């Protein structure tokens, strides 16, 4: 593991100290989050985004303040860009300042450098007649009679559905919505319940959600097979943190925190059984060694 040179460490510390002093009046690390969205965030604060927020708040000497809102259509305007006082369009204070997880380069926010990269996986419940499957491509090569017995979740959007379409498996897909109004279950929770109930046997799912499902059952209950990208289909995505457009000082402070706490962040995420890939090279070049 590469050790940062002393001058880089000192610079990072001075930068964070300077940033902390500029926001010390509020003494809050204000996070926009979904109250029911495991493994990302929950009102019980046991999601990995909650844990990373706690880590950053501690580094800044601040306490966390959450603005809770379901992470679906309208999330940004009701949280990150919403004035602290309703109707005060000229306010310089907002309900919250940081979204802990957005796609790198997300067009609705200013984004930090990525702090993790994951992939979609084919998640298969073991012991149901599919233990011989070690690659997604095997599913498309199965005899038609065996394909007909597949109980595979399929979402209304996403690369998994595109892959199923290209491989002639749409007819065996069991449809799910990728965004629902359910106030008792998010997608990962519902898929986990239906896998246990044997309504489905497998699903192509984003890595963090697959990791959540794996943690809810005894070890080795599921096979987790990474999907392979192709020139016309991408399964790996880098994730960053989002701040308001123009909030460059906060973005840079978060970037420094991401670099300084890279190993702690990785440790948090691996404890949630999230499949992690190397970050894009530009995101991890911190100096000119």
Smallest Cα–Cα separation from 119: which of 218, 209, 214?
209
Q: How far, in Å, CA of 64 to CA of 94, rounded?
A: 15
Q: How far, in Å, CA of 156 to CA of 117, rounded?
A: 23
CB-CB neighbours of 188 under 10 Å = 21
- Domain positions in the chain: 6-116+238-284, 118-226
Smallest Cα–Cα separation from 116: which of 227, 221, 289, 272?
272
- Tell me what pLDDT residue 87 has: 60
- Tell me what pLDDT residue 4 has: 42
Q: Tell whether the torsion through CA atoms of 105, 107, 110 and 116 is positive or negative.
A: negative
- Tell me what pLDDT residue 9 has: 44
- Tell me what pLDDT residue 185 has: 86
Residues of the chain where predicted confidence (pLDDT) is lower than 50:
1-13, 15, 19-25, 283-289
CB-CB contact of 34 with 70 (8 Å): yes
Residue 147: its H or E element: helix 144-147
Q: How far, in Å, CA of 32 to CA of 103, rounded?
A: 15
Same topology, domains 6-116+238-284 and 118-226? Answer is yes
CB-CB contact of 34 with 40 (8 Å): yes
**Topology (CATH level 3) of domain 118-226:** D-Maltodextrin-Binding Protein; domain 2 (3.40.190)
CATH class of 6-116+238-284: alpha beta
């Amino acid at each position: 593991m590469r050790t940062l040179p002393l001058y880089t460490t000192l610079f990072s510390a001075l930068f964070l100290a300077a940033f902390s002093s500029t926001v010390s009046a509020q003494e809050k690390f204000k996070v926009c989050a979904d109250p029911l969205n495991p493994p990302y965030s929950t009102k019980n604060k046991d999601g990995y985004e909650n844990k990373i927020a706690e880590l950053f708040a501690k580094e800044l000497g601040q306490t966390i303040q959450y603005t809770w809102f379901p992470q679906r259509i309208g999330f940004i305007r009701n949280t990150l860009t919403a004035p602290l006082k309703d109707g005060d369009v000229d306010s310089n204070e907002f309900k919250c300042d940081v979204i802990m997880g957005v796609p790198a380069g997300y067009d609705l926010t200013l984004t930090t450098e990525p702090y993790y990269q994951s992939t979609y996986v084919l998640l298969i419940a073991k012991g149901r007649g599919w233990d011989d499957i070690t690659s997604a491509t095997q599913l498309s090569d199965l005899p038609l009679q065996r394909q007909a017995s597949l109980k595979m979740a399929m979402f209304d959007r996403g690369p998994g559905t595109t892959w199923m379409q290209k491989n002639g498996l749409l007819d065996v897909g069991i449809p799910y919505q990728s965004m629902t109004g359910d106030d008792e279950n998010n997608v990962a929770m519902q898929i986990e319940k239906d896998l246990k109930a044997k309504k489905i046997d497998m699903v192509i799912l984003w890595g963090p959600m697959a990791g959540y499902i794996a943690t809810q059952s005894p070890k080795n209950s599921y096979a987790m097979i990474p999907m392979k990208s192709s020139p016309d289909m991408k399964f790996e995505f880098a994730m960053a943190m989002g701040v308001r457009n123009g909030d460059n000082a906060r973005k840079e402070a978060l970037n420094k925190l991401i670099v300084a706490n890279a190993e702690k962040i990785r440790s948090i995420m691996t404890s949630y059984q999230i499949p992690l890939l190397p970050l894009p090279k530009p995101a991890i070049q911190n100096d000119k060694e």
